[in-house]
Amino acid sequence: MRKKQIIECIPNFSEGKNKDILAAIATAIKQNTGVKLLHIDRGEAANRTVFTFAGPPQQVIEAAFQAMKVAGELIDMRIQKGEHPRIGATDVCPLVPIANITMEEVIAYAQQLGERVAKELDIPIYLYEHSAKTSKRKNLATIRSGEYEGLAKKMKLSEWQPDFGQVFNAKTGATVLGARDFLIAYNINLATDSVDIATKIARDIRESGKVIKTANGAKTRISGQCKSLKAIGWYIEEYGKAQVSMNLTNFKITGIHEAFEACKTAAKKYGTVVTGSELIGLIPLEAILAAGHFYAHKKGATNLTEKALIQLVVDKLGLAELSPFNFEERVIEYLL
């Protein structure tokens, strides 16, 4: 007998202020039998909310479709504004294998969902990460370049025709959708309101690094410190702080503790300090325990329990600086 397959879906919606809209999206997800809504992370200043839910693949993609339908009906991209880059009401919709399912199977479900959304909801779909049909479209930031405001013009270019749906939808924008590995969304808080400083730190630590001019005037790219890390700098008004906003695309290569320590070092270079950090959505137990063992080793602590290791991470990374942090609601294995 085949074991139960589980996938996770983490759609990001371009709405973080209207609680009625978010409640309607949540209802659309929860009404699907077998699907568990694990977490909702609302960012008011970024005007963006991340939903996390999981369950059997067919039920999950049905829940994703219904959520995207509600978002398309209630969010109007013609008037939407926010700090976070975006191209659509449902900006990005990743599908992640969790248990007893291969990446190839998840890719097939992503294609099935994308084709249906384009056909029935008239929302153009770009496939990314493992679902991408060309290497140029693997990276979310590349697809999202120009954001919603540049999307109509971008879609007219032959190399940027969507994978599904060819007509620009002014109200919904487009959606980036695909199968990917587990990603940790993580923001680090700075003791400054300077976006310029946050951006400089991001460029120093992210894998893509920064572009500089050489002595002869040519441009060259210098790689950043941390592999498998994407980062930008921004200012969040509700916190009164600048942040380095990150995606850790492979936490086994760069963990949250390594990103945090790299930020601390870079912050000193620019005359500021790190005050804490913020986890967006959920984190695998393996990732938070790796950070726990790192800090336990630094302080010479041994034989700590699992919960003690997690609490050590919460303290060292300042994960409760902006809001209470309950690890039983943020570690995916605890929820599942």
Angle at Cα 169 formed by Cα 43 and Cα 132, nearest 5°?
75
Q: Residue 238: which pLDDT band, with cuts at 50, 70 and 90?
A: confident
Residue with tokens 């976070």: 84
Active site residues: 84
**Whole-angstrom distance, CA of residue 177 vs CA of residue 127:** 5
Q: What is the pLDDT of residue 226?
A: 97
Mean pLDDT, rounded, for 18-44 = 95
Q: Concatenated DSSP letters for 83-110?
A: SS--SBSEEEEEEEEEES--HHHHHHHH
Nearest Cα to Cα of residue 191 among 94, 267, 100: 267
pLDDT tens digits for 173-198? 999 999 999 899 999 999 999 999 99
Place of tokens 């912050």: 267
Of 281 and 314, more confident: 314
Could you report the per-residue pLDDT of 160-170, keeping only the tens digit for each? 999 999 999 99
User: What pLDDT was estimated at residue 179?
Assistant: 97
The average confidence (pLDDT) of the chain is: 94
45: Cβ–Cβ under 8 A, 6 or more apart, which residues? Answer: 16, 82, 83, 236, 237, 238, 239
Least confidently predicted of 8-22, 46-60, 321-335: 321-335
From 18, 63, 68, 62, select the one nearest 38 (Cα to Cα): 63
Query: Which residue is associated with the tokens 């294998």?
Result: 97
Pairing of strands 184-190, 274-280: antiparallel
pLDDT of residue 1: 57
pLDDT of residue 63: 98
Span 217-224, mean pLDDT? 86
Helix (H, G, I), strand (E, B) or coil at 168: coil
**Helix H or strand E encompassing 187:** strand 184-190
Task: Convert the pLDDT of each residue in 72-104 to its tens digit.
Answer: 999 999 999 988 999 999 999 999 998 889 999
Q: Is 336 exposed, middle or buried (0-12, 13-18, 19+ CB in 10 A)?
A: middle
Instruction: Give the type of residue at 36.
Output: K
The answer, yes or no, to whether residue 207 has pLDDT greater than 80, is yes
The whole-model pTM stands at 0.80
Among 7-21, 134-148, 208-222, 270-284, the range scoring the smallest mean pLDDT is 208-222
Give the tokens for residue 64.
């994703």
Residue 298 DSSP label: H
- Write out pLDDT tens, residues 46-60: 899 999 999 999 999
- List C-alpha distances in Å: 68 to 81, 121, 137, 152, 186: 19, 9, 21, 20, 24
- CA pair distance 129, 126, nearest whole angstrom: 10
Query: With pLDDT > 70 as the criterion, what percentage of the chain qualifies?
Result: 99
Mean pLDDT of 19-25: 98
Q: Is the dihedral of CA 209, 237, 140, 93 positive or negative?
A: positive
Q: Which domains does the chain have, with CATH numbers?
A: 6-179 (3.30.990.10), 184-335 (3.30.70.670)
pLDDT of residue 199: 97
Q: Does 309 have pLDDT greater than 80? A: yes
Record the tokens describing residue 113, joined without a space: 């969902």
pLDDT tier for residue 2 given thresholds of 50, 70 and 90: low
Give the span between the Cα atoms of 145 and 291, in whole angstroms: 33
Q: What is the pLDDT of residue 3?
A: 80
pLDDT at 38 over 70: yes
Amino acid 231: pLDDT? 96
